[in-house]
Structure 1
Amino acid sequence: MDLGPLLEALYGRRVEHCVESVGSTIGRGRGDASSRSYARVRIRDAGVAPQTSVVMQLPNDPLRSDEGGGRERTRELAFVNVQRCMKARGVPVPDVLLDASRSHGKVLLQDLGDTTLEKRLGSIPAGGWAPEYDAAVDLLAELHDRMAQPDPACVAYGRHFDRALLRWELDHYREWGLEARLGITLASELRTRLDGAFDRLVDRLASLPMGFVHRDYQSRNLMIHDGALWVIDFQDALMGPRIYDLVALLCDSYVDVAPALREREIERYAARRGLERGAVAAELHLVALHRKLKDSGRFVFIDRVKKNPDFLPHVPQSLEYVRRALRLATDVGDLREALAEAAPGDFGSVV
């Protein structure tokens, strides 16, 4: 990885440096589920700052989203565009030190260290997680308040979780989370019933109050740096159900958030944003159905198509969140019955 010209542009002169792989830092080495990769750059010259940075190596088509749904390419790297807006509004995000996305397919970023919220949670008993989640929910409420006013220069406000995208993600689950994972083909009658249940779920989701959505506000995308939480991986931000990010946090496929802790944080978020707690809970259970079905299918897709099996161990937790939501959401009996028939091993217990 030749970084000499980029570092010279950043520091104004040639500097001695080395490149190190990173684990669970801002880039998580392999780019997690994305096609980006990351490494830490360490400067050997003592007289320059910063001494470290993170280089984000972009794929061959860096302006296309890693998420599905057929979104068009943007004219500017979405990460850089959304970062600029979030930083201007006081959201704690890493600085972009040098944007060479067009010239070199790379971006140099502020190094936030190696401690994600997920890593922090793994170091303490689950009974002691409440302060960590309190902080994450407080930051989320602040983020949503700060990002509430649309900015026409920010791509996030021109992208929407519309019916087409909501439905595509459920089809993604059916294709990969049901048929590919279980090795089945749904009978036409069952497929029709499942499609109808999906359509009704999408109708309800599309009618929910909308707002700015980070899209992946979960434990792997929250860094602990200088004693505070910072937000990363925001390049797919868009307008969507206002409660979507709370679902990503409290129904996190990488962490088993206990129901009691979830209820505590629902109440906290509602209070911080001046919302009615019952409405927040009802929206959360409905959105959780969609998000966790999508995740369970997406993880299989990443294994089969992107040849990355690292996410398969998180399918069971995703399905557990679906089961919890099926028990708590209202008026989803048709979906509950269709899923139980299609995948009795996954959902037979909730009928």
Structure 2
Amino acid sequence: MTSRPGAPSAADDRAQALETFVSTTDWAGTQTTALAGDASRRRYFRLTDPTSGRTAILMDAPPDAGEDVRPFLKVAAYLRNLSLSAPDIYAADEEQGFLILEDFGNDLYDQVCARDASLEPALYDAAVDVLVALAQAPAMEGLAEYGPLMSDLALSCYRWYAEPILGQAMGDACEEARSVLNPLLSALGPGQTTILRDYHAQNLLWLPDRGGPAKVGLLDFQDAMLGPVAYDLISLTTDARRDVPEAIQSRCMDRFVAGLGLNPSDFSRDAAICSVQRNLRILMIFGRMSLHFGKPHYVDLIPRVWGHLQRDLDHPELGDLAAIVRRHLPEPTQASLNILKAKCGTIPTLQ
């Protein structure tokens, strides 16, 4: 149904509801500035008190777009109980999907590193220390296990990456890959660690005035699950959006292994398996962002993801999977990427 001329739109109604929510909190009368969003349907604003200068972050997570702030609130409480820097919650309307959060500022990891590469060791050491703390803590109660989802998510890259480029159905090829990938994923064992699942430089903020792992401001953790201990570490080191220097990657691996007393050889294998699974999944996500959601700029990130995938497929215990993946999946040549962009927004269903 189309709105009558002059009738308020759903966007107008949402904006009015947001304004009403803010007016009922201690942040009434503050100035509002829109911030850059992420790959979700959430929107973010910075609230600034013109008198005191204090600031907060306003999150708009519309339930009718599939957003739900309750997992964010639960995971934030868990992280804060571990003395980690999840934002304090100043006000919440769970039903409408509105939150006012502590403002950690603008020093995202990727931006700090771009300004001063000499700070990278300190930033990444602190980020690893967060993961060591999570691995040593009792797992968060009530979380689902990631393991049963890992195979399907990884192999969805056949549907959203390979098939659109090659122009052919690849169901049989996908099942061939599954027969080799599943035993590797099973070897990771049951998920016993709280994993945040999107732990990378654009979701971490540098808080140098705090101590220890609390120097890392945490964002975008609402999809936390129970998973392999290596998962968030490889999310940090095989970053889809920035090139993490090899020396920093090695430093992170060594610090994590030492911090938890792990067997380096076993951990190297598990990390490679997690990285392959994650980067196959990201091929799917970035392809889908163009083909279904109409956001072709994600395609430009695919070559970096492909590079991570190829490096970890070189692990000696992943040889069979490497042979299958390299036979099935097309390299992200410029011609391949152009196909994904040319088909931008042409697949209306996620099924």
TM range (shorter): 0.7 to 0.9
Specify the alignment match of 2:186 in structure 1. 203
Specify the alignment match of 2:152 in structure 1. 168
Specify the alignment match of 1:95 in structure 2. 88
SS of the equivalent of 2:58 reads: strand
SS of the equivalent of 2:103 reads: coil
> Aligned AA for 1:195?
R
The alpha carbon displacement at 1:186 in A equals 4.7
The alpha carbon displacement at 1:171 in A equals 2.6
Q: Conserved in 2, the CA contact under 8 Å of 1:159 and 1:238?
A: yes
Distance of aligned partners of 1:325 and 1:17 in 2 relative to their CA distance in 1, 3 Å threshold: same
Unpaired segments of 5 or more residues in structure 1?
Answer: 23-28, 66-75
Q: Conserved in 1, the CA contact under 8 Å of 2:42 and 2:67?
A: no
Query: Does residue 56 of the first structure (1) align with residue 49 of the second (2)?
Result: no
| CA–CA distance in structure 1, aligned partners of residues 257 and 32 of structure 2 | 44
| CA–CA distance in structure 2, aligned partners of residues 7 and 190 of structure 1 | 52
| CA–CA distance in structure 1, aligned partners of residues 107 and 155 of structure 2 | 35
The alpha carbon displacement at 1:121 in A equals 1.5
Specify the alignment match of 1:277 in structure 2. 264
Offset from partner CA, 1:87-133 (integer Å, 9 cap, x none) = 1221111111111121x3211111111111011122234x7632321
Q: Which range moved further: 245-254 or 169-178?
A: 169-178
Specify the alignment match of 2:107 in structure 1. 115
The alpha carbon displacement at 1:211 in A equals 1.2
The alpha carbon displacement at 1:6 in A equals 2.9
Q: Conserved in 1, the CA contact under 8 Å of 2:139 and 2:192?
A: no
Query: Does residue 336 of the first structure (1) align with residue 318 of the second (2)?
Result: no
| CA–CA distance in structure 1, aligned partners of residues 19 and 93 of structure 2 | 13
Q: How does 1:51-90 map to 2 (within 5 A)?
A: 51-61=54-64, 77-90=70-83
Q: TM-score, normalised by structure 2?
A: 0.81
The alpha carbon displacement at 1:16 in A equals 2.3
> Aligned AA for 2:134?
L
Specify the alignment match of 2:289 in structure 1. 302
SS of the equivalent of 2:41 reads: coil
Q: Conserved in 2, the CA contact under 8 Å of 1:55 and 1:107?
A: yes
Distance of aligned partners of 1:100 and 1:191 in 2 relative to their CA distance in 1, 3 Å threshold: closer
Q: How does 1:211-250 map to 2 (within 5 A)?
A: 211-227=193-209, 228-250=215-237
> Aligned AA for 2:181?
F
| CA–CA distance in structure 2, aligned partners of residues 131 and 117 of structure 1 | 11
SS of the equivalent of 2:156 reads: helix
| CA–CA distance in structure 1, aligned partners of residues 85 and 72 of structure 2 | 14
Query: Does residue 37 of the first structure (1) align with residue 52 of the second (2)?
Result: no
The alpha carbon displacement at 1:191 in A equals 4.1
The alpha carbon displacement at 1:84 in A equals 1.2
Distance of aligned partners of 1:128 and 1:232 in 2 relative to their CA distance in 1, 3 Å threshold: closer
| CA–CA distance in structure 1, aligned partners of residues 139 and 83 of structure 2 | 15
SS of the equivalent of 2:78 reads: helix
The alpha carbon displacement at 1:288 in A equals 0.4
Q: Conserved in 2, the CA contact under 8 Å of 1:41 and 1:53?
A: yes
SS of the equivalent of 1:255 reads: coil
Specify the alignment match of 2:133 in structure 1. 142
The alpha carbon displacement at 1:188 in A equals 6.1
Offset from partner CA, 1:28-52 (integer Å, 9 cap, x none) = x22x111211111122244xxx721
Q: Which range moved further: 282-291 or 36-45?
A: 36-45
The alpha carbon displacement at 1:213 in A equals 0.7
Equivalent residues, number: 313
SS of the equivalent of 2:31 reads: strand
| CA–CA distance in structure 1, aligned partners of residues 205 and 75 of structure 2 | 18
| CA–CA distance in structure 2, aligned partners of residues 140 and 192 of structure 1 | 34
| CA–CA distance in structure 1, aligned partners of residues 134 and 147 of structure 2 | 22
Offset from partner CA, 1:279-304 (integer Å, 9 cap, x none) = 22221111100001111211111222
Note the aligned Cα RMSD (angstroms). Answer: 2.5
Offset from partner CA, 1:56-91 (integer Å, 9 cap, x none) = 1112347757xxxxxxxxxx7100111112112211
The alpha carbon displacement at 1:9 in A equals 3.3
The alpha carbon displacement at 1:324 in A equals 0.5
Distance of aligned partners of 1:327 and 1:169 in 2 relative to their CA distance in 1, 3 Å threshold: same
Match of 2:32 among 6, 11, 19: 19
| CA–CA distance in structure 2, aligned partners of residues 124 and 251 of structure 1 | 20
Q: Conserved in 2, the CA contact under 8 Å of 1:63 and 1:78?
A: no
| CA–CA distance in structure 2, aligned partners of residues 107 and 144 of structure 1 | 28
> Aligned AA for 1:111?
D
Query: Does residue 133 of the first structure (1) align with residue 120 of the second (2)?
Result: no
> Aligned AA for 2:58?
V
